[in-house]
Structure 1
Amino acid sequence: MAQREKFASLLEEKGLPIGLLTFQDIQECGYVKDTGFVWLRHKKKRELCKFEDVVLSYDAEITAYFEPKKIKNLTGVKAKEFLIWITLTDIHVDQSSSITFKKNLVALSKSFPVSVFNV
């Protein structure tokens, strides 16, 4: 199975929208089922304008722990809003079909409709 399809399958299995993280140029993707640890390696760092004037930056390597409808201890993903880059650390999908991003600063978070991330 190609890396892109492998990662899409994992997102779907965990109840996360498949447009949540970048699929461009995935060179390596891994998943440790016992711990939920996930890693992605891309050819290079990327910046994408994703939604509502928020720019996302993806490092060449992204790591996280996946749980059903949650991503914890995320590394390698930043969001830029109002000229400020903020490292994202946790993402979760709630019952009301919204997705919330938590940032590494004192309990900052922002929610968006899940539909924004469906491709």
Structure 2
Amino acid sequence: MASQVIEKHRENAEIYHGEALCKEKSIDLLSEMELPKGLLPLKEMEEVGYNRETGFVWLKQKKATEHVFRKVGKKVSYGTEITAFVEPRKFKKLSGVKTKELFIWVSLSDIYIDDPSSGKIIFMTPAGLSKSLPVSAFELEEGEGGAKTSEIEKKKEEEAAMG
């Protein structure tokens, strides 16, 4: 199903391939949308697409992964295809992301920051249940691309200084 939706949005989309470029573009997208840069700690990404006209985003990775956000003790599962409609501080109609609550996996449908000054990010299920957690728990942690990002920025600064 997600693949069919992706196909509808491919035309006029920015599409990137390759693990390093996809990681960089996913972090750029989160930054552009004013969301924490560690929100999508995907591994072995193969494709990232963003259709600015429709606000549709997709991320493809080789295999489903799980990640534990240590600061809040939350385990999250990311499928091979993650899709969402984005706008500043929001992921809407999200698919491919689940969180473990007690003993069951619960799909997430929306992630948003209502009030940036609150320091809270809200996760909502298709059933309308929501949980509010600190934004700081979803920032990039060392070893999750933070080091790579600073290496890329360092290289860009060096190139800019050279001419």
SS at match of 1:116: helix
TM-score in terms of structure 1 length: 0.93
- Name stretches of at least 5 consecutive residues in structure 1 with no aligned partner: none
Provide the C-alpha distance between the structure 1 equivalents of 2:112 and 2:98, rounded to a whole number of angstroms: 16
- Residue 64 of structure 1 is matched in structure 2 by 84
Identity %: 47
Could you list the runs of 4 or more consecutive aligned residues of structure 1 that deviate by over 2 angstroms after TM superposition?
51-54
Which structure has more strand as a fraction of its residues?
A: 1
Does residue 113 of structure 2 align to residue 93 of structure 1? yes
- Name stretches of at least 5 consecutive residues in structure 2 with no aligned partner: 1-15, 141-163
User: Number of residues paired by the alignment?
Assistant: 118
- C-alpha deviation, 1:49, in angstroms: 1.9
Provide the C-alpha distance between the structure 2 equivalents of 1:9 and 1:47, rounded to a whole number of angstroms: 22
Provide the C-alpha distance between the structure 2 equivalents of 1:53 and 1:114, rounded to a whole number of angstroms: 14
17-26 vs 81-90, which moves further? 17-26
Provide the C-alpha distance between the structure 2 equivalents of 1:22 and 1:42, rounded to a whole number of angstroms: 11
- C-alpha deviation, 1:26, in angstroms: 1.1
Does the aligned pair in 2 maintain the 1:53–1:81 contact within 8 Å? no
Q: Identify the match of residue 104 of structure 1 among 105, 126, 129.
A: 126
Q: Identify the match of residue 55 of structure 1 among 60, 75, 78.
A: 75
TM-score in terms of structure 2 length: 0.69
Q: CA RMSD in A?
A: 1.3
